[in-house]
Chain A
Amino acid sequence: MKRTKRRYLALQVDSDGAPTPKEFIDAVWSAVTKLFGEYGASQTGLALIDYNEGEKKAVIRTALATVNIVRTALASITCVAGKDAAIHVMAVSGTIKALYEKISQ
């Protein structure tokens, strides 16, 4: 079987409060499901890799084929845990190492 290519996305959560990792990933799943349905969401292979509650930064993983779907869903998020919020994509990379290098630049 062919290996699934993945992409890692570094995200910045812009919100009044500090959402917990569960609240954050729930908001992402909810946005993906709302826009693309359960079938679309099942193809994304979304996973939360890292979440810094203090800095409100997160790293998520998705399949390369569904990067556009995930980016669109992330842009459509307007609230996390009942508070107004926006999620901005800081960087996209094929490996976690390269992603952290990109962010630190």
Chain B
Amino acid sequence: MKKTFADLHLRLNLKDSASASRIINKTAKLGYRLIVVPTTPETSQDETAKLQRICNEAKIDLATRIDIKPRTQNELTHQLRRLRRKFEVICVTCENKEVARQAAKDHRVDLLNFPSTDFRRRFFDRAEAELASKSLAALEVDVKPLLVLEGPARVRLLSSLRREIAIAREFHVPIVVSSGVSAEMQLRRPRELAALAFLYGLDETSALEAVSQNPMAIIKRNREKLNHRFVAPGIRIIKEGKDC
């Protein structure tokens, strides 16, 4: 069966529609069928509509995402309550352990991300993985730092990632490999992202799942939940009106 590839983290400058259009067209050409662009609650509807139009022209599916960086547990739960129904993907960048643990056990969080250059703040350990495995959160790995960093910084990052990926696999936490890039030249084909995942110790099958099945499963699940017919998992309205 042909795989459907998705990039869950494509950073676009929404103000510059020419550049956004170039990047989206290139992404479609490289073989992606779905891209997820980070936005903010302040992003205007005009900008989103323009982005949607560009994606329609490029025949690529678009989903919206929000990256939140809460400082406390309370801030996290407050933001999730406010934003969950507005965005298809919610990613939490965990800057401290308290937030990381809360994010891992909250069913409203889709992706867990950790600062790529600050190795002391990568909190994805066995306890975190155990919590994440019981909820729906996946571990997101951006490829951009691997392309940008060099020397000891890249060595340390690879070492941390290899350890985290091994833990995630042990606890069956889904892994999502995203690009995280904002420049055209840094875009890579899905199979090239999977090839880079070889550096974290992912085999070919798992690496391909991390750029196809795992991200697509998150989008499918959330779109179903955001649908107005959704009531609860397994329950949806199939007909409404006076004749029911």
Contact = CB atoms under 8 A, between A and B. Distances in A.
Interface of A: 14-15, 34-35, 68, 71-72, 74-76, 78, 84-86, 88-89
Contact of B147 (A71, A74, A78, A88): A78
B199 interface: yes
A85 B185 CA distance: 6
Contact of A75 (B148, B183, B185, B188): B188
A78 B192 contact: no
B153 interface: no
A26 B185 CA distance: 19
B14 interface: no
**B interface secondary structure, majority:** helix
B185 A14 contact: yes
Interface residues of B, number: 19
A16 to B, nearest CB: 8
Contacts of B188: 75, 86, 88
Contacts of A35: 199
A89 B191 contact: yes
Interface string B175-200: 00000000101111101110110110
A44 to B, nearest CB: 14
A68 B192 contact: no
A71 B192 CA distance: 7
A86 B195 contact: no
B193 A84 contact: no
B231 to A, nearest CB: 44
B198 A72 contact: yes
B146 interface: yes
A75 B186 contact: no
Nearest to A83: B185
A72 B193 CA distance: 9
B30 interface: yes
21 contacts: A14-B185, A34-B150, A68-B195, A68-B198, A68-B204, A71-B195, A72-B196, A72-B198, A74-B195, A75-B192, A75-B195, A75-B196, A76-B146, A76-B196, A78-B185, A78-B186, A85-B185, A88-B30, A88-B189, A88-B192, A89-B192
A84 B183 CA distance: 10
A75 B150 CA distance: 15
Given A88-B30, A89-B189, 15 more contacts: A34-B150, A35-B199, A68-B195, A68-B204, A71-B191, A71-B192, A72-B198, A72-B199, A75-B195, A76-B147, A78-B185, A78-B186, A85-B185, A86-B185, A86-B187
